[in-house]
């Protein structure tokens, strides 16, 4: 591992432009270094790679002539952007090759990662895009405000919030090509709808997917018919926040509840691992038969 290799001492102080002098910057960097390595380790998942990134941040600091108002913030920004560059340069990992190890290869090297996300979650992070991964780790692990994350990612705070939300939704779902039970497909579909994950919705829908509705549901305000994978995905994208998991006639579905009462059932038809049809049903007799569930288990 390459280290910056600077040592020595100087009188603590500022130059005539108000900047911290060189060796003083070294002292501040050494104080910040454990935090920066921890941040980079959580984003990249590899401690050795994280240390290399932090070393690159030091080299950039050593070469810059820019006025730095807050050195820890500057180092955080540079380290995060270097992590983004590293993630974007990685070749995509086929999901079939992603395996959760029974133990970390070197517990000493993985301790910073395990403190926050654990080895298993680190593996799942490989399914996220680089911006999703950075938004999730910076916000959920380090408490960064979305405005600060947006500045790092060159986007808006609302978009940064959406990136983190999509990342959480993906982490909570199985891989798109894993063999799933019908209830897992239904629940993954509803999680993607709530999280605004249009890509995931499209992956879970059959090409000729359609939505229909009974008369009672139409009177309640649902569309009578929607046809096509893209149209169905667009309709559900970012919606169904008040929907809960249910059984209807033993089949897994979801229902929109209002003040604790089921108002519209989303009756799913799943074929060959994809959602092929959703029927909105609001007939009182149907709603009266709904049973709340947790996964594949009935709720008491």
Average pLDDT on 265-277 reads: 94
Residue 3 pLDDT > 50: no
CB 75 within 8 A of CB 61: yes
Residue 187 pLDDT > 50: yes
Residue 87 pLDDT > 90: no
Per-residue model confidence as pLDDT tens digits over 54-81: 999 999 988 888 788 888 889 999 999 9
pLDDT of 298: 82
pLDDT of 119: 41
Cα distances from 249 to residues 11, 190, 273, in angstroms, run 78, 19, 20
pLDDT of 219: 94
How many residues does the structure list for the chain?
300
257: helix, strand or coil = strand
Count CA within 13 A, CB hemisphere, residue 5.
Answer: 5
Residue 15 pLDDT > 90: no
Closest by CA position to 22, among listed 32, 31, 33, 11: 11
Residue 256 pLDDT > 90: yes
Average pLDDT on 33-54 reads: 89
Per-residue model confidence as pLDDT tens digits over 140-166: 777 788 888 999 899 999 999 888 888
pLDDT of 173: 59
What percentage of the chain exceeds 90 in pLDDT? Answer: 37
Per-residue model confidence as pLDDT tens digits over 208-228: 999 999 999 999 999 999 999
Alpha carbon 61 to its chain's center: 31
Domain ranges of the chain: 22-127, 182-298
The more confident residue out of 110 and 256 is: 256
Residue 300 pLDDT > 70: no
Task: Decide if domain 182-298 falls under CATH 3.90.550.10.
Answer: no
């Amino acid at each position: 591992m390459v280290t910056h290799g600077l040592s020595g001492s100087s009188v603590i102080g500022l130059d005539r432009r108000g900047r911290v002098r060189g060796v003083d910057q070294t002292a501040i960097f050494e104080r910040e270094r454990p935090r920066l390595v921890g941040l980079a380790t959580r984003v990249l998942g590899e401690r050795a790679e994280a240390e290399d990134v932090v070393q690159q941040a030091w080299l950039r600091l050593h070469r810059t002539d820019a006025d730095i108002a807050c050195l820890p913030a500057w180092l955080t920004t540079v380290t995060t952007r270097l992590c983004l560059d590293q993630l974007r340069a990685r070749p995509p990992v086929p999901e079939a090759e992603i395996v959760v190890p029974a133990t970390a290869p070197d517990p000493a090297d993985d301790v910073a990662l395990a403190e926050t996300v654990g080895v298993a979650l680190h593996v799942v992070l490989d399914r996220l895009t680089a911006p999703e991964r950075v938004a999730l780790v910076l916000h959920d692990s380090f408490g960064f405000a979305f405005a600060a994350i947006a500045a790092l990612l060159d986007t808006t705070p609302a978009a940064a919030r959406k990136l983190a939300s999509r990342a959480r939704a993906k982490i909570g779902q199985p891989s798109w090509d894993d063999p799933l039970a019908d209830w897992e497909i239904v629940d993954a579909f509803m999680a993607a709808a709530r999280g605004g994950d249009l890509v995931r919705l499209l992956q879970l829908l059959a090409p000729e997917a359609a939505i229909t509705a009974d008369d009672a549901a139409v009177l309640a305000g649902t569309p009578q018919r929607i046809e096509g994978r893209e149209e169905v995905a667009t309709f559900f994208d970012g919606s169904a926040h008040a929907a809960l998991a249910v059984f209807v006639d033993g089949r897994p579905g979801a229902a929109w509840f209002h003040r604790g009462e089921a108002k519209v059932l989303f009756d799913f038809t799943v074929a060959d691992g994809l959602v092929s049809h959703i029927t909105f049903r609001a007939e009182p007799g149907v709603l009266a038969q709904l049973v709340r569930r947790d996964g594949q288990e009935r709720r008491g």
